[in-house]
Amino acid sequence: MIETKLTIAFTGGGTAGHVFPAFPVIARLRARDIDVFWIGSSDGMERRLVEEAGIRYVGVPSGKLRRYFSLKNFTDLFRILAGFFAARRILRKERPRVLMSKGGFVSVPPAAAAKTLGIPCLTHESDVDPGLATRLNLKLGARPLLAYRRTLDDLSEGQKLTAEVVGNPVRDALLNGRRNEGRRLAGLADDDVRPLLLVLGGSQGAREINDLVGGCLDRLLKKCAVVHQTGPGNPAQSDRSGYMTRPFFREELPHLLAAADLAVARSGAGSVWELAATCTPAVYVPLRGASRGDQLLNASVAEERGVSVTLEPGADPERLASIVLELLSDSDRLENMKRSATAYAASTAADRIVTILMEYLK
């Protein structure tokens, strides 16, 4: 008798934050000889990230439901329906024991398809405030896995019964950085004692952060070295003494995180938990306006826990420089921020999710 290999399907996309947290979970599943594949958008940015990680990727049509009036809401309905039927065909063929959603609207049609086929679905929410895709998946009966305990307040009584607070997984490689290597990558000699400021705008960069840092760079470089991830396609300063800029950091990032004395970053869930996992104190510049407010909440929780400072709305470059230089001059406060970061259960989140997923394979 031929034994059927156990399979788990993952879905999600739209941003790196809807993809990267799944990778340490998938690595642990593969170590147990579990087959894994990913359902994502046919033309989504997640395809490259997933395929580069060596994970089998299946693309489906994907649309988006916006919280504002747009004619695209009508045309995208057809893409969403097409995505549902495509996902249903895939799930019927692959026969996974469970579907694991990491969010983003591309995850909704597969979650709906799984419901019609009787395939259990779990949805992991990385932010404090559940996004629209998570809320829709929950209405479809998905079991909620949460990064924050306070997110329970947004769930119905029935959803709370099956919810698990597991934290937010981070890539294992980020935990293996070497401080000396990070300072070498930043161009700092062994006898250079300047603190290192790491600037991160997320996987796509952040024009606001780039402008803020550019506006006070001369002042910062008098007191610290700066390494700056600008994001692909964003204009940036040129490299100079004590300043290095790149569109995106890959293999270098774990070492730069280990070397950084302080970070300036967006407060997307991925950034917050990765910086907490590496005990890197931060100044957060939340995305405002177009955001549903998730970054403001993430930054607020991090500041309450003592791991970061949030830059107030409308602050200018000089205000950012003042906060950064004040923190870098206060070694005791930085040490307290590092200790406070251990409250984030980033190092155990992937193991907890795997334990839950394995329950569906028994």
| Residues written for the chain | 362
Could you identify the residue written with the tokens 């280990």? 258
User: Are residues 132 and 291 in contact, defined by beta-carbon separation less than 8 angstroms?
Assistant: no
Alpha helix stretches (DSSP H) within the chain: 22-31, 46-52, 72-94, 108-117, 132-139, 157-162, 179-185, 207-221, 253-259, 269-277, 294-304, 317-328, 331-340, 346-359
The dihedral over CA atoms of 110, 112, 114, 119, expressed in degrees to the nearest 10, equals 140
What distances in angstroms separate CA 352 from CA 134, 146, 200, one per listed residue? 20, 11, 28
Enter the pTM of the model.
0.87
Same structural domain, 140 and 257 = no
Same structural domain, 109 and 215 = no
Same structural domain, 195 and 105 = no
Q: Give the pLDDT score at 207.
A: 86
Give the count of domains, the chain.
2
Q: Which domain holds residue 26?
A: 7-167+346-359
Residue 13 lies in a domain: yes
The total of other beta-carbon atoms located within 10 Å of residue 290's CB is 5
User: Are residues 11 and 111 in contact, defined by beta-carbon separation less than 8 angstroms?
Assistant: yes
Residue 94 lies in a domain: yes
Residue 61 CA to residue 74 CA, distance in Å, equals 15
Q: Give the pLDDT score at 1.
A: 39
Same structural domain, 47 and 120 = yes
Q: Give the pLDDT score at 73.
A: 59
Please list the rounded mean pLDDT of every run of 10 residues in the chain (362 residues).
76 89 96 97 92 96 65 70 96 97 95 98 94 94 96 96 96 94 95 96 76 95 96 76 91 96 94 94 86 84 96 94 98 96 87 97 88
Residue closest to 270 by CA, chosen among 1, 14, 18: 18
CATH code of the domain containing 14: 3.40.50.2000
User: Are residues 167 and 343 in contact, defined by beta-carbon separation less than 8 angstroms?
Assistant: no
Residue 337 CA to residue 191 CA, distance in Å, equals 26
Same structural domain, 265 and 350 = no
- The two most distant CA atoms of the chain are separated, in Å, by 71
User: Are residues 116 and 141 in contact, defined by beta-carbon separation less than 8 angstroms?
Assistant: no
Same structural domain, 249 and 137 = no
- Residues 6+ positions from 296 with CB-CB distance below 8 Å: 267, 286, 288
Torsion region of 307: left, alpha or beta (phi above 0 gives left; psi -120 to 50 gives alpha): alpha
What radius of gyration do the chain's Cα atoms show? 21
Q: What one-character-per-residue DSSP string does 172-225 give? A: GGGGG--HHHHHHHTT--TT----EEEEE--TT--HHHHHHHHHHHHHHHTT-E
Q: Give the pLDDT score at 74.
A: 58
The dihedral over CA atoms of 306, 308, 311, 316, expressed in degrees to the nearest 10, equals 130
Residue 1 lies in a domain: no
Q: Give the pLDDT score at 342.
A: 86
User: Are residues 281 and 337 in contact, defined by beta-carbon separation less than 8 angstroms?
Assistant: yes
Same structural domain, 95 and 123 = yes
Q: Give the pLDDT score at 2.
A: 45
Q: Give the pLDDT score at 248.
A: 85
Q: Give the pLDDT score at 62.
A: 85
Q: Give the pLDDT score at 145.
A: 98
Strand order of the sheet with strand 243-246?
Answer: 243-246, 225-229, 196-200, 262-265, 282-284, 308-310
